[in-house]
Amino acid sequence: MQSGKRHNNIVGADRWEQSSVIALLTKRKSNTQFSLIFFSNNPFCHKFFDKKVYTYQFMDKAVLPMNLNTLQQLGMSEREITLYLSLFQLGPSSIREIASHTGINRGTTYESLKQMAARGVISYAPKGKRRVFRAEDPDKLLLLAEEKKAALEQTIDSLKTDIIPGLHHLKPDFTAGNVRFYEGDDGIEFVLKDILATVSKQPDKEYCVFSTKSIRHHLYRPFPNYTLQRVRQKINVRVIALGEGGEDAEYSERKWLKTDGPVDASYIAIYPPKVAMISMASENYPVATVMESADIARSQKIVFDTLWGFL
């Protein structure tokens, strides 16, 4: 073998990291053939040496029959997945056999197996002076997933009923953190999404807007389907348009305020407890300020409702 020094015990998987091999998955041995499957980005490759046949099969994640990312979601590392799959191939095995099969050194193998045993996915029993490890029934994985699901649901409930309300209670009524600044298309998109997210939680699902014709192109450029999403969520908007123009859409009402001459590009959205103000810092660069204050939003809403009644 040309690279025999790098192929301790047929293949030392830990030495193959230089070749982008991530994990040794299986090795099956017969009288004349060794089959090894690696977890790698390399294409399929077969090599033949001497009178025996050594088959090296390199697999990309996309062609594996199992989605190993699922095991990672259960808290298993790539090394632990390697050991776990090897135990299914080997059956009950000693640390020496497992380490030899995977190419992972014995110390690391032992520590990983201890952690896996603590999770209950493998078990061990004494056999003479040695410990023999075996993989537990795969159904144990589903039990682990159910336990994680239950713990996550409990965490979500705790966040909703305890943690988040408690943190809101700790916040002062108004701080510098209640005013946020956003720039460019990404910033405007964030503000528009915040309007939808905030209003969708309100009983009446309505917000109010002062808007000029010259701002509209810049406003919806980063979020062209904003109106479509608003309509889908059945969110109503009342708009006082400064100057001409404005689109007709469902769940919207519009009134116009005549102006003398052109009006600078501006957009003010009142969606208690927030008020968002969008303008142009330069010809093609929008900026936004979002103020979170129930009192300020309420006063702006009074001004809007009063003017709406006169139009």
User: Pick from 136, 169, 203: which residue ends a domain?
Assistant: 136
Same domain, residue pair 124 and 68: yes
The answer to whether residue 99 is domain-embedded is yes
Cα end-to-end distance, the chain, whole Å? 89
Q: Is residue 305 part of a domain?
A: yes
Of 76, 106, 136, the last residue of a domain is 136
| Domain assignment present for 256 | yes
CATH number at residue 284: 3.30.870.10
Q: Please give the helix or strand (H or E) that residue 193 lies within, else none.
A: helix 184-199
Instruction: Identify the CATH number of the domain in which residue 94 sits.
Output: 1.10.10.10
For residues 180 and 195, what is the distance between their CA atoms, to the nearest angstrom?
Answer: 14
Number of domains in the chain: 2
**Which pLDDT belongs to residue 75?**
84
Residues 102 and 27 in one domain: yes
**What digits encode the pLDDT tens for the residues 69-125?**
788 888 888 888 888 888 888 888 898 999 988 889 989 998 989 888 888 888 888
201 and 127 in a common domain: no
Residue 77: domain span? 4-136
Whole-model pTM? 0.49
- Contact (CB, 8 A) for 151 and 75: no
Domain end, chosen from 74, 103, 136, is at: 136
pLDDT-based confidence at 49, cuts 50/70/90?
A: very low
Asked whether residue 33 is domain-assigned, the answer is yes
**196 and 103, same structural domain?**
no
Residue 160 lies inside a defined structural domain of this protein: no
Q: What is the pLDDT of residues 154-188, one digit of tens each?
A: 999 888 888 888 887 776 665 555 889 999 888 89
**Same domain? 114 vs 200:** no
Phi and psi torsions of 97, nearest 5°: -65, -40
Cα angle 36, 42, 47 (rounded to 5 degrees) comes to 50
In a domain, 213, yes or no: yes
pLDDT at position 278: 92
70 found inside a domain:
yes
Residue 244 lies in a domain: yes
Residue 175, pLDDT score: 57
Q: Are residues 127 and 33 in the same domain?
A: yes
